Amino acid sequence: MGLTIAQKIIKAHLLSGEMTPGSEIGLRIDQTLTQDATGTMAYLEFEAIGIPRVRTELSVAYIDHNTLQSGFENADDHLYIQSVAKKYGLRFSRPGNGICHQVHLERFGKPGKTLIGSDSHTPTGGGIGMLAMGAGGLDVAVAMGGGAYYITMPKMILVRLFGKLRPWVSAKDVSLELLRILSVKGGVGSVIEWGGEGVSTLSVPQRATITNMGTELGATTSIFPSDEVTRAFLAAEGRENDYTPLSSDPDATYDRIIDIDLSTLSPLVACPHSPDNVKPVSELSDVKVDQVCIGSCTNSSLADLLRVAAMLKGKKIDDSVSVSVSPGSKQVLSMLSDCGALSDILAAGARLLECACGPCIGMGFSPNSAGVSLRTFNRNFEGRSGTRDAGVYLVSPEVAVASALTGYITDPATLGDCPPVVLPKQYKIDDSAILLPADPETAKTLSVRRGPNIKPFPDTRPLSDKVDATLTLKVGDNITTDHIMPAGAKILPYRSNIPYLSKFCFAVCDESFAERAKAVGSTIIVGGSNYGQGSSREHAALVPLYLGVRAVIAKSFARIHAANLINAGILPLTFRDPADYDKLEQGDKLSLSGLFAALTSGEATLTDETKGIGVTLDCRFTERQRAILLAGGLLDYTRNNGDKKQ
């Protein structure tokens, strides 16, 4: 039986387990990346493990999230990460060099390699045929030390593309179409592979947009073939030697096949507050627009911004609209400047932001009160923009510009002919902002710089056979990590300070949660379906750990967050009967007993002491996950046991 692209890469990197969907496998990781919002904690964890040098083929530390330096905190974290990178063998991408996913695609990504990153949009690398996955920072730390990365062997979904995109329709619309079909839960437990004759019509930047947005499906990752289009992109980056052809076997089998005719697609919009709330642009023409943000790791490539510049040339943005443009990398910004496209953008009235994530994570450029913001980003979760009552719509660059010019959500086809964009055969190469590590001997003499905002990893403790706790918070379906641990300019600077960060835990849902949790001491949280979707931020597990959360009981979990809870030593349990969710109420006194036996049997009983009822929970974990939970988390398990399977 033939293999899919992902199965071929998995087979070549398999360290443990069997390639049977649903079983746990351990993979050798070739490359890792971090960004500064998650990186400080990841490197504190790497230091705690005690390994003197990174053991991957390549590890890169990027500074792209916390670049708004309104106090010492972000600057201190950047110096900490830079000193860690130099000492332990990582490359360091300086602030202003660009967004991790864009820069990694340009300068480091290689077809057929494995990549994990402490950012959920790491699957962007699938645009050039990498098996690239988002992970918690502790998983990245273990991988940097040479340990395996463990996932559940995914199912395989093939999306076959036919035809060619019409003018004014973009890769963003392809992503939104699949979100419309599958929803934010439809990719859970699966790899999305893109194939069919239509693939050859898509450039690498277009493919990267699609694999980036695959994260919003809940997918393990997304991947394209590595073909002549890939070769041309790598050659333009001066890296043709990194090219490897990669395709699925003709007799490869898939768990599901979805067909999309590119020629039938029209511009789409994801309406507030979910990426799968998708509607045609034509249905939203009466929506007044206050703000437009162009950029993020989804749509900040040279190709995207050349299109933006061509559409804006000689025109003026509507007086009622504020527009920002964030180039994805220094390479993109420099080439826009050299060819004059940047002048066209600025002359139209757009504001230029630095090459960073910026507004996507609420780091500046928040909308006005109750404002409508169109963004070429990947997420529109409530409050993520920094303005709780804003309505954020996800759109393509083409729709963004058309709407900025008219002041209303606008189909770009109404503007006339689509201006052509020609990509260069050679990109401008300047890696001077990527600093190399010290050699191993020099590294031994170096020290790490730590600012006062950097606090220790939260205290952990081995799992007890019995947990008595209060149901301190009950939430609904599709709770995101932005709900659990918000981002934004006021909060992100404290990512290395868990005690201070804890004040904001679940503030989007219930501002009193943190104080209530600290008061009761031992907490259980109850959630609905797809609990923990969104960002890979492990702070959404570490902060609850600090606040005394011992277990989270939900109808279902998002993949990365469930792994992060286990890594933190928190039990992620699921209702055997989802209807039991309705029996539990906030404030109930709960008890989990016989947990040691439950970890073996796969079934736990929750007793609601307040109501005098029992609820059956699924408690099924792999042997390794059970050992991690018993040890009190992955850090203790790795540090104490050395992960003997490696």
CA angle 111, 326, 124 (to 5 degrees): 20
pLDDT of residue 194 exceeding 50: yes
Local structure of 96: helix, strand or coil: coil
DSSP calls for 502-516? GGGTTTTT-TTHHHH
Mean of the pLDDT values across residues 176-197? 96
The structure tokens 């960004």 sit at: 35
104: tokens are 């990694």
Walk me through the domains of the chain, giving residue ranges and CATH numbers: 268-415 (3.30.499.10), 467-641 (3.20.19.10)
Per-residue pLDDT tens over the stretch 512-526? 999 999 999 999 999
The tens digit of pLDDT for each residue in 215-269 reads 999 999 999 999 999 999 999 999 999 999 999 999 999 999 999 999 999 999 9
Q: Is 55 exposed, middle or buried (0-12, 13-18, 19+ CB in 10 A)?
A: middle
Q: Could you tell me the pLDDT band of residue 511, with boundaries at 50, 70 and 90?
A: very high
Report the run of H or E that residue 85 belongs to, with start and end.
helix 72-88
pLDDT at 570 over 60: yes
Is 560:532 a contact under the CB 8 Å cutoff?
A: yes
Task: Report the Cα 501 to chain-centroid distance in Å.
Answer: 20
> Residue 489 has what DSSP assignment?
T
Q: What is the pLDDT of residue 512?
A: 95
**Cα gap 191→14, rounded to integer Å:** 16
Say what the pTM is.
0.93
pLDDT (tens digit, 9 = 90+) per residue, 392-429? 999 999 999 999 999 999 999 999 999 989 888 999 99
CA distance 186 to 206: 22
Bridge partners for 273 per DSSP: none
Q: Which pLDDT score is estimated for 642? A: 63
> For a pLDDT cut of 90, what percent of the chain falls above it?
91
List Cα–Cα distances, 114 to 31, 156, 157, 307, in angstroms. 6, 17, 19, 32
Alpha helices, H only, 262-312: 302-312
Q: Measuring CA to CA, which residue among 250, 257, 255 is closest to residue 2?
A: 250
Q: Which residues have a catalytic role annotated?
A: 64-65, 119, 379, 535, 537
The CA distance from 97 to 472, in Å, is 43
* Max CA distance (Å), the chain: 72
The Cα 30–Cα 573 span in angstroms is: 32
Q: How far apart are CA 573 and CA 616, in angstroms?
A: 10
